[in-house]
Structure 1
Amino acid sequence: MRETQPSQTAVMTAAARAAHLVVDHEPYIFRDTLAAALLGEKGEEIIGYHRVHGDHVVLSGTRAQVTARSHYVEGRRAEQYVVLGAGLDTFALRTGARVFEVDHPATQGWKRELLAAAGLTVPAGLAFVPLDFESGDLMEALVAAGFDPRRPALVSWLGVAMYLTREAITATFASVARFAPGSELVMEYALPPELRDEQGTAYAEFALPAAAERGEPWLSFFTPDDLSALLDRHGLKTAEHVRQADCVAPELWDRRDALRPADLCRLARATVTG
C-alpha cells in the first residue's frame, strides 16, 4: 500500500462481500448487509462488475474467498476481538461486539469518512487503532486504545499477511504471543505455487499481477508446516490449518452459481498457551 493512499484491496474485499448477496444464489455463505452502504457510489461501480462478469475466476474466486473466511472467523467467540488490517470490515457495526480495528492510518481515516458519508454510527464497542505493521508496536497501540491484555481475545488476521514481509509477520506473532492465555489467532496465509490447486493457480495468474500493479504485491508465502514452525518459535501453538473448502459446511458448496473453493490461501488457527 502506498503511504498516502488507503488500501485498494479493502475496496475490492468489501465489494465482493456485498456482491455475494446480489450476484450469487442461496444458500449464502456469509451475509454482510452493510458493505454496500459503506462503499457508497464506488461500491455500486464494482458490484456492477460482479453483476456483469461474476463468473470470471477472479471475481467469483474473491467472493468465495472473502465469504468463506469471514464465515469461519465470525463463528468463533471471544470477549475481545482484534481485527488486524481491518480495512472496510463491518463486524463491529453488525454485532456490537467489543472490537479493536487495527490498520494503517490512511485506510482508517478513509474508513471514518465513508462511515460518516453513509450515515453509519460508530458503535460504542468499536475502537480504531492506527498502526503501521512494518514499524509499530501492536500491543502498545492496543492498550492505548483500551484493550485489556489480561483478558483473552480473538485475533482475526484475514487478507493481510500475504502483503507483508516475513519480518513484519513474525513481529506480529511475537506481539500476539503476549496476549492472555486462551487467546486465539486466526490468520489467512498464501500457499506457494506448488501447493495450489487448479482453481487457486488460475486465480493467482490473474490476481497477483494485478495486486502488484496497484502497489500491493504479495510478498510472503508459507507451507502449513513452515508456518506452524514459525508460530511455535514465537510462542503460538497451531490448532489447525483450514482449507477454504472446509471453512463452511459442505452443503454450502453445493451451488448453482460460480462460487467454488480454491486452494490458494488457507487459515491457520493458533492459540496462546502462556
Structure 2
Amino acid sequence: MQESNNAKAIEMSNPSKGPSKTAETIAMVRVGESRRPEDERICYDPYAIRFISQNVLEFATCNPEKYRAFLAQSERLVPGVSNSIIARVRYIDDLVNSSLSDGLEQLVILGAGYDTRAYRIEGLKNIKIFEVDQPATQKIKVEKIKEIFKSLPSHVTYVSVDIGIDKLDQRLLENGYDRSLKTLFIMEGLFMYLPAGIVDETLSFITHNSGRNSAIVFDYIPESVVDGTCELEAGKNWRKGLMDVGEPFLFGIKEGEIETFLTQRGFSNVQNVTSKDYKTAYFFGKNEGRVMNSLLSFAYAVVE
C-alpha cells in the first residue's frame, strides 16, 4: 500500500513524465554564475549552457530587458534562492574534491538532472560514476553529452529510474554498482520532490548497500514550506511557484531535527550547513552583499 501511495504521489508531482523543468532552471542559474568575472564567481560550469533549450536562449538574447525583468521578479518572490543554489553547487563540488583526496571509489548521483560534475571535475575521470534519473530528463542529458564530447564517457553509467516506481537497488546493481566500495551519494535538489516514504527507502538502500565510510550529501527545506504553514512570504511564494509548474515540494524536515532524522536512519558525523554557514564560507569580499535564501540548507553524513 505504501509503495502504491508513493508511486501516485510521484506521478501527481510530474504528470507529463516529461523532462524536468527544474533541471533546466538550475542549469540556467549555473550559466549566470559562470559568466561572472573569475575573481567573483562562486562556481564555474562551462557545460551548463548546453542544457538550455534554444527558445530560452533566443528569448534571453533577443529580449535582454524582459529577461532581466523576469529574473528580478523571481528574486523578489524568493529572495536569495539563486545565490543559495550557487552555494549548493560549490559546497558539493568542494565535498567531491575532498572525498577524492580521502579515497573515494564510487560516485552515485541520484536525480542527476543536468549535473556536469562527472565531466568538469578532473579527478572524477578515474572514478566509476552512476547518474540516476527519470528517463525523459536522462534522454536529453545523454543526447547533449554526445553532442559535447562526440561520445559517452566510459567512466559514467546512465541509469534510468523512476524513483519510487522502479526498484533503485535492482537498477543500480544490474548496471554494475559495487556495494562494497566507498561511495558518495549526491542528492542535489532531489529529496524535496519525493514523498517521505521514498526518501526513507533511498536512505535505507544506502545504509545497507555501500562500503565502509560511504557518505551522503543533500539539500533540504523546512517541513513548513512543504505543508504550507511557513510564515515567510518567500516560503509561500516558492511553494506556489513550483506547484504552478507541476513540480511541487513533497518533503521537508522539521527545523532543528536534521541530526536526529539522519542518526535514526543509520548515519553519523552529521554536518548541517545553514544559509549563514555557506554565506560565511563563500560570499565575502566582492560577494559580501549577495543575499541568501534562509530556507535552503545542506546536510552531509557518513554511513555508520
Instruction: Go from structure 1 to structure 2 and tell me whether the alpha carbon gap of 1:25 and 1:170 turns closer, same or farther (over 3 Å shift).
Output: same
Q: Give the greater-gyration-radius structure (CA).
A: 2
Q: Is the 8 A contact 2:110 2:187 kept in 1?
A: yes
Matched, 1:126 2:145: no
> Which of residues 209, 216, 220 in structure 1 aligns to 2:240?
209
Structure 2 match to 1:227? 258
Letter in 1 for 2:243: A
Q: Is the 8 A contact 1:157 1:186 kept in 2?
A: yes
Report the secondary structure of 2:143's partner residue: helix
Structure 2: 5+ residue stretches without partners: 1-13, 226-230
> Which of residues 125, 136, 139 in structure 2 aligns to 1:109?
139
Letter in 1 for 2:22: T
Report the secondary structure of 1:247's partner residue: helix
Instruction: Go from structure 1 to structure 2 and tell me whether the alpha carbon gap of 1:116 and 1:202 turns closer, same or farther (over 3 Å shift).
Output: farther
Instruction: Go from structure 1 to structure 2 and tell me whether the alpha carbon gap of 1:154 and 1:60 turns closer, same or farther (over 3 Å shift).
Output: same
Structure 1 match to 2:116? 90
Structure 1 residue 113: Cα displacement: 2.6
Structure 2 match to 1:255? 286
Q: Distance in 1 between matches of 2:144 and 2:282?
A: 36
Letter in 2 for 1:82: V
* Aligned residues between the structures: 268
Structure 2 match to 1:157? 187
Q: Distance in 2 between matches of 1:246 and 1:272?
A: 23
Instruction: Go from structure 1 to structure 2 and tell me whether the alpha carbon gap of 1:148 and 1:251 turns closer, same or farther (over 3 Å shift).
Output: closer
Matched, 1:63 2:82: yes
Structure 2 match to 1:197? none
**What is the Cα-based RMSD across aligned positions, in Å?**
2.8
Q: Distance in 2 between matches of 1:107 and 1:240?
A: 30
Report the secondary structure of 2:283's partner residue: helix
Instruction: Go from structure 1 to structure 2 and tell me whether the alpha carbon gap of 1:251 and 1:137 turns closer, same or farther (over 3 Å shift).
Output: closer
Q: Is the 8 A contact 2:221 2:296 kept in 1?
A: yes
- Normalised to the residue count of structure 2, the TM-score between the two structures is 0.78
Letter in 1 for 2:118: A
Q: Distance in 1 between matches of 2:276 and 2:67?
A: 22
Structure 1 residue 84: Cα displacement: 1.0
Report the secondary structure of 1:133's partner residue: coil
Structure 1 residue 180: Cα displacement: 1.3
Q: Which region of structure 1 is more displaced relative to structure 2, 209-218 or 42-51?
A: 42-51
Question: Percentage identity across aligned positions?
Answer: 24
Q: Is the 8 A contact 2:113 2:133 kept in 1?
A: yes
Structure 1 match to 2:220? 189
> Which of residues 49, 74, 78 in structure 1 aligns to 2:93?
74
Structure 1 match to 2:10? none
Structure 1 residue 253: Cα displacement: 3.7
Structure 2 match to 1:269? 300
Q: Distance in 2 between matches of 1:92 and 1:156?
A: 12
Q: Distance in 1 between matches of 2:288 and 2:151?
A: 34
Q: Distance in 2 between matches of 1:26 and 1:244?
A: 22
Report the secondary structure of 2:153's partner residue: coil
Q: Distance in 2 between matches of 1:111 and 1:157?
A: 17
Letter in 2 for 1:64: N
Q: Distance in 2 between matches of 1:238 and 1:173?
A: 15
> Which of residues 15, 28, 45 in structure 2 aligns to 1:15?
28
Q: Is the 8 A contact 1:25 1:257 kept in 2?
A: no
